[in-house]
Structure 1
């Protein structure tokens, strides 16, 4: 697996690259946002992105990456406020870690986001597509159309919608969605799930499509 590490601090970057290398990952390092966009390639399987970069804000870099690629992006930042995390998710990040972080947590998060990217499209035992009340969901190509027009969902937003679509009309518990999309049972992702669901509703202009079942989870309606 090739990971693009976007980190302007030389000492931190060297330590992180060495650790990832020992863990068997191929890495490439960018010291600023411009380098990150230049080094991002079709063989990049994940991006570890610092927000405090010398030439541009990391959130802008994340938006630009998301505009050209569906590669998983994990934000690494010292900005621990909840609002900053929400901004990162809105910018298209799949996950985040707060500095200083435990490298074991980072590895677990890398494995989780890349596992979901590899396994979600066209899983065995599930239909390759779903059409529902003007919405067409293509699991193989990870595309969503509403009334024939494409909807620009982030990878995590698509994954959330895909999980609900695999259980149409059924209430899917929050913990199951988090486990299938984020690869963890940690309830700390509840707020992230809420943000992603709200964003899906807004982008698809179908507030009724995903029903909230208070205290339980979410249900794809119209089936």
Structure 2
């Protein structure tokens, strides 16, 4: 059965799902969604995701939306292929889940606001709101202080091996490392080492090779 991922190149949620597929060494078809023509709002696409957003994932007759649900499915359904992205031990799995929740509830809202202000607004010719950037830089700095301490306890956020807890950070972190807030990562040695490690993984290099030149 053919695996398909419907998305938009450079969309962080789509890239989150894509890197999980690459980590699992899975063959898949990437299906570009034409936002310029509002393809995501057509009846055909809404049948796949009623919210009209990307990514959408198909594994034969099985369909999913929401990037973190997709990565979890890929990690568990293809557990014996590629990188093991989850722990089987219940206690290790629980700790990994904690840091997946931290990413979703704390890192993602903060980093998404900063990527919008410092990256995407430039693409769309909009003006950066410096007051918003200052507010969310402080939030990111406080969060990365917690990460710095956590990374004294284990090599990765979820434990001693790379898991979904780390993977989910990659798209927004990649964008932020190309902005002035990179200094917040560089100022924290363990955070800096962790960021460099995960963003140099072959699966992520494959993802970035697909970006338009």
| Structures share fold, TM-score greater than 0.5 | no
Q: Which has the higher strand share?
A: 1
TM range (shorter): 0.3 to 0.5
The TM-score with structure 2 as length reference comes to 0.33
Q: Which has the higher helix share?
A: 2
